[in-house]
Amino acid sequence: MKKSIIACAVQQPCNRGRETNLAYSISQIEAAARQNADLVVLPELHLDHYFCQSEDTACFDLAQPIPGPTCETLADVAKANKVVIVSTIFEKRAPGLYHNTAVVFDKDGSIAGTFRKMHIPDDPGFYEKFYFTPGDLGFTPIETSIGKLGVLICWDQWYPEAARLMALAGAELLIYPTAIGWNPEDDAAEKQRQCDAWITVQRAHAVANGIPVISCNRIGFEAAPDQAPGIQFWGNSFIAGPQGEILSSADESHDVLLFAELDSQRSEDVRRIWPFLRDRRIDEYADLKRRFID
């Protein structure tokens, strides 16, 4: 990674329609660039409402190829503003074959790389297995002009294996575009437990791997198309340093740009005092490849 970069996470609503959502994301990228951002991360599937609340084949019409129209637009924005952009797009790879895909645009407008979401949830209100084929690009960092980015997507953030494999492959920071929220019918205590767990597990990835984490979530209520209660996306985007320390954070409801300066020397220093990669017992971890140990 460059010795020091300014990272920005865009916390925004995504329930205003594709044209408005994209225009707003672009305006936020431009605002971040004016504040000297090198890297701008957008929420998961920021182009559209969260269509995975139901299973509807008509929603496949929202998908687009990569490269495609949105890629062309964001490539121009990255080049014009000289920033690296992380976006996620509903990818149409072939008829009947779709992915939830992160696209990283470098400062010159080129596509530096892509990552297809690996872990696909299937829960009430989050019927992603209906829409997304699990990723097949592996846990490979994306090389950019500012460093190697370990991009993962939402549900991937709960898995320490994913974060570790990115770190072992040389990722210099972990990035999680996210669309996660509450069932409005849950009580306040349950909502707090869920959000706390989400923050804690990602901060733990920073600690365990000695690298920063950027977690970028959407906000706002999005109604379900049927009688389901809908989702209140809980925001709480944050940027954490290599000891899990919170460098910048947002609340549950406001549009905001989060900024943090990330210093590669800090990660180096942390890994020297906490050499977790050195002390891993790789000779004893074979059972991690098993589903369950009976």
DSSP annotation of 59 reads G
- C-alpha triplet 73, 75, 80: angle, nearest 5°: 95
Is position 44 annotated as part of the catalytic site? yes
Beta-bridge partner residues of 175: 151, 214
The distance from CA 71 to its chain's CA centroid, rounded to whole angstroms, is: 17
Is position 261 annotated as part of the catalytic site? no
- C-alpha triplet 231, 255, 32: angle, nearest 5°: 135
Task: Indicate which residue of 8, 59, 71, 154 is catalytic.
Answer: 154
3-state secondary structure of 147: strand
Beta-bridge partner residues of 114: 103
Residue 29's nearest CA partner among 69, 97, 63, 79 is: 79
CA 143/CA 171 separation, integer angstroms: 9
CA 115/CA 90 separation, integer angstroms: 12
In single-letter form, the type of residue at position 40 comes to V
Strands 39-41, 4-11: parallel, antiparallel or unpaired by DSSP? Answer: parallel
Name the region of 281 (left: φ>0; alpha: ψ -120 to 50; beta: rest).
Answer: beta
Strands 97-105, 111-116: parallel, antiparallel or unpaired by DSSP? Answer: antiparallel
- Structural contact between residues 250 and 10, judged by C-beta atoms closer than 8 angstroms: no
Burial of 82 (0-12, 13-18, 19+ CB in 10 A): middle
Task: Indicate which residue of 8, 14, 44, 71 is catalytic.
Answer: 44
Tokens 């964001």: give the residue.
Answer: 74
Task: Indicate which residue of 59, 92, 107, 117 is catalytic.
Answer: 117
CA 165/CA 132 separation, integer angstroms: 22
Q: Which residues are catalytic?
A: 44, 117, 154
